[in-house]
A = this chain, B = another copy of it.
């Protein structure tokens, strides 16, 4: 039985390159191996690859969907949560997680990173955004160089909460 306190979000674009998909799948696999539950936005690209990886290791996957239909979830979402709220659902993805792994991604991903940092939820970044505020580098996003490093850092931080 999964440990329901180990919910980790994986965020990233609805479309992505084959390379990013592979990285995302690895993240999903590693999360499942370590007993974490994966939460995401439920759609394609990074989200789908991560869910596929988690399922391949028997993990549990939750998708917080922007639209009105559970059927719009990628096929590896086991628990589709239907919000009908469009991108306002982004805040739910991160608030429900103990840690967030950001992979690549565009402005939607950036909104999720922002919400996580605003809520003191640790963000691990793999090839994603970097930030500067008023000319000063902001190092809040914790850089990882590999899927397993990202997952290890996320779980270590999630448990310290």
Contact = CB atoms under 8 A, between A and B. Distances in A.
A115 B87 contact: yes
A127 interface: yes
Interface of A: 4, 7, 37, 62, 64, 68, 70, 78-88, 91-92, 95-96, 104, 106-108, 110-111, 113-115, 117-119, 127-135
Nearest to A130: B132
Among all A-B residue pairs, the 9 with the closest Cβ atoms: A111-B114, A107-B118, A110-B114, A82-B95, A84-B86, A107-B117, A85-B85, A82-B96, A107-B114
Copies of this protein in the assembly total 4
A108 to B, nearest CB: 6
B104 A86 contact: no
Contact of A84 (B37, B88, B133): B88
Contacts of A7: 79
B79 A37 contact: yes
Q: Chain B CB within 10 Å — which of A64, A80, A85 has the most?
A: A85
A82 B134 CA distance: 29
A140 to B, nearest CB: 8
Contacts of A87: 84, 91, 115, 118
B104 A108 contact: no
A78 B70 CA distance: 20
A115 B104 contact: no
Contact of A80 (B64, B96, B114): B96
A129 B80 CA distance: 28
B132 A129 contact: yes
